[in-house]
Structure 1
């Protein structure tokens, strides 16, 4: 499989995806998932824009459909105790570190299924928003099963890329003036409460932050980021 890691400013097609049922082909899947829910960006305040890691699929290897029942859907370790058994987290890459936690086994399995693991190992600096097993269990079964179908591997890859930033971003940088750019004018919003104790990314709450690795860090989240349900559209240029 040939893959090219592009400038993060490139358009990530996940910005226009939403979920229905399983499709008959990759092209059909793209069209059926091509409905964007958007809202106008409020105000003209300067924003701190972060970029997702964009990986273009040049060749997509067909995979057999994977059943939802094959995925772990529970967390076997308390969130607060995740990675406590890892002596020096910074001696591992972000993906190697994710594989160390049983709570992230579904996320790891899907990264490997989408053939993103090698790309993650090659990037010098990145941030993973890693959903727990129970985060995937929150998804309606039909939506998750559609992502696992043999025709939707490209779609799965795009959704997962919404969980990967092309830079090492600490939780301190994630505030109400932060947006995660998925295309030239489409963004996943970041929200922090007034007290600063709760941070959400695309509606997913960070439940364990700043687990540092050799090439970045992991923020554990309690939901899967679905850009189709959380995209903001910057309409400033139209004003």
Structure 2
């Protein structure tokens, strides 16, 4: 793909607004074509136990959220895709940010055809939109999530926030459970999730696949 694409991502970078949270907005991003990533180039296993994530980091609040995410081998695929979609600078520019970070094994659970489509050089905008749904431009604790009913991705696309998961302690976001929550960083926090969020028409009516 030789031409550049310009995409305006939906949503507003806003603080917690009662029953709705908005994803990070990416304004007029020029999407430079990048090489297609192979599925085999991505890590699909979690090298460490979920409960041990970030335990070796002395003080997580010394690092910004992206630097902190890079310190967990379980999040290597998520970080790699953020870099592939050129979203790192957008994450760094906001004052407060929350990442819903899927583990490597969460990506392994995705249908392979969908993952291959996202990794294509022709689908940089699609990859960016998918990843954008994992980034909230405010610092949102797991407790605060219980007071919200959905996350707005675009004007017509929402991700529902559900009831506590099977553990009885965590809420679910778009069908994904927070398996490790509230890892605090200098400019926000990370919630580790067990499923990749895939905005689609299903989310408009509050359904998940």
TM-score when normalising by structure 1: 0.76
RMSD: 2.6
Cα distance in 2 between the residues matched to 1:200 and 1:147: 24
Cα distance in 1 between the residues matched to 2:89 and 2:43: 23
Paired residue for 1:147, among 84, 106, 118? Answer: 118
| Deviation of the 1:56 alpha carbon | 2.9
Q: What SS class does the counterpart of residue 210 from structure 1 fall into?
A: strand
**Structure 2: which 5+ runs fail to align?**
none
Residues 152-195 of structure 1, C-alpha deviations (whole Å, 9 max, x = no match): 01110110000000110000011274211123343210012398
Q: How does 1:157-168 map to 2 (within 5 A)?
A: 157-168=128-139
**Structure 1: which 5+ runs fail to align?**
11-45, 235-239
1:174 touches 1:192 (CA, 8 Å); kept in 2?
no
Q: What SS class does the counterpart of residue 145 from structure 1 fall into?
A: helix
Q: How many residues align?
A: 199
2:151 touches 2:161 (CA, 8 Å); kept in 1?
yes
1:51 touches 1:166 (CA, 8 Å); kept in 2?
yes
Residues 32-66 of structure 1, C-alpha deviations (whole Å, 9 max, x = no match): xxxxxxxxxxxxxx961111011034422111111
| Match in the other structure for 2:52 | 81
| Match in the other structure for 1:50 | 21
Query: 186-195 or 170-179, which moves further after superposition?
Result: 186-195
Cα distance in 2 between the residues matched to 1:176 and 1:161: 22
Highest RCO, 1 vs 2 (Cα 8 Å, sep ≥ 6)? 1
Which one has the largest radius of gyration? 1
2:99 touches 2:136 (CA, 8 Å); kept in 1?
yes
| Match in the other structure for 1:9 | 12
Q: How does 1:4-43 map to 2 (within 5 A)?
A: 8-9=11-12
| Match in the other structure for 2:71 | 100
Paired residue for 2:178, among 203, 206, 212? Answer: 206
Q: Does 1:232 align with 2:204?
A: yes
| Match in the other structure for 2:94 | 123
Q: What SS class does the counterpart of residue 130 from structure 1 fall into?
A: strand
Query: 151-160 or 176-185, which moves further after superposition?
Result: 176-185
TM-score when normalising by structure 2: 0.86
Cα distance in 1 between the residues matched to 2:197 and 2:183: 19
